[in-house]
Amino acid sequence: MPDVRELPAGETARAARALLELRPHRGPAEALVERIDAVQRPQGFRVVGSFEPGEEEAAAVATFRVLEMLMGGRVLYVDELVTREDRRARGHAAALFAWIEAELARLGCDQLHLDSGVGAHRTDAHRFYFRQGMEITSFHFVRKAY
């Protein structure tokens, strides 16, 4: 059974390996940890890890923040939800999602949001989100600054 717990500043490194599987462009690990702890946490960014017994590094990680939006009210927005490739199919994503749902209720949020990339390599993640009762409600548009 996975052990899910929030990681405070100072423990972010426990999440780095999993996060870098999803966001390798944010490496190396030290740079990722510095960015999260110095820039994102002061903006309300939080990190939750799912751990296997006796392990110090998270097998899976979710990051999130709470936003107030006209569209959705008080929204818990999940930035990342990733399980390390070598730890998949062991219940970590489901355990993290259950923790997030409990936090959603505890914080009095109206909605849970997350964006997920598209492509054949994301099919398993999308199936998981549908099993959790999520639905696709919009397109997310991006344009790089120039």
pTM of the predicted protein model: 0.92
> Domain residues of the chain, as ranges?
3-131
User: Could you read off the pLDDT of 85-144 as tens digits, one per residue?
Assistant: 999 999 999 999 999 999 999 999 999 999 988 888 888 888 988 899 999 999 888 899
- Classify 3-131 by CATH class: alpha beta
User: Could you read off the pLDDT of 31-75 as tens digits, one per residue?
Assistant: 999 999 999 999 999 999 999 999 999 999 999 999 999 988 999
Contact 29, 13 (CB under 8 A): yes
For position 52, what pLDDT does the model report? 96
